Copies of this chain bind each other. A is one copy, B any other.
Amino acid sequence: MKRHIYNCSEGCPVESTLQIISGKWKSVILYHLIRQEVCRFSELQKSMPNCSRRMLSLQLSELEQDKIISKKIYPVIPPKTEYRLTKLGKTLEPIIIEMEKWGRMYNSTH
């Protein structure tokens, strides 16, 4: 619930961005939601084996609070939920794409 507070008042725009995406797994979640527009909870879980269920849940709910992703709950048993990027969330794509590109480059040279 509580997050680190960056001092955005000094006018470093990067800090505002960090406020939103600096959670340990958030950019990974965004990465998967870019590649696959709609994801279920269990699909994300499989894609991120090192992220516990609890952490995944927390990160998702913060992203939802910040209107970066939206959640659709189907009232069925067993439960079914779907996550996808909001319009605002989609504006984060360029950042994730650049991170992805850099990661590929880095992996191929190290």
Give the residues in chain B near A4, CB-CB below 8 Å: 24
Copy total for this chain: 2
Chain B: CB-nearest residue to A20: B106
Check B49 against A28 for contact (C-beta < 8 Å).
no
Interface of A is mostly: helix
Give the residues in chain B near A57, CB-CB below 8 Å: none
* Chain A, range 83-103, C-beta contacts under 8 Å to B: 91-92, 94-96, 98-103
Check B49 against A10 for contact (C-beta < 8 Å).
yes
Distance, CA A91 to CA B108, complexed state (A): 14
Q: Cβ of A65 < 8 Å from any Cβ of B?
A: no
> Residues on A close to B: CB < 8 A?
4-8, 10, 12-18, 20, 22, 24, 27-28, 31-32, 47-50, 91-92, 94-96, 98-107
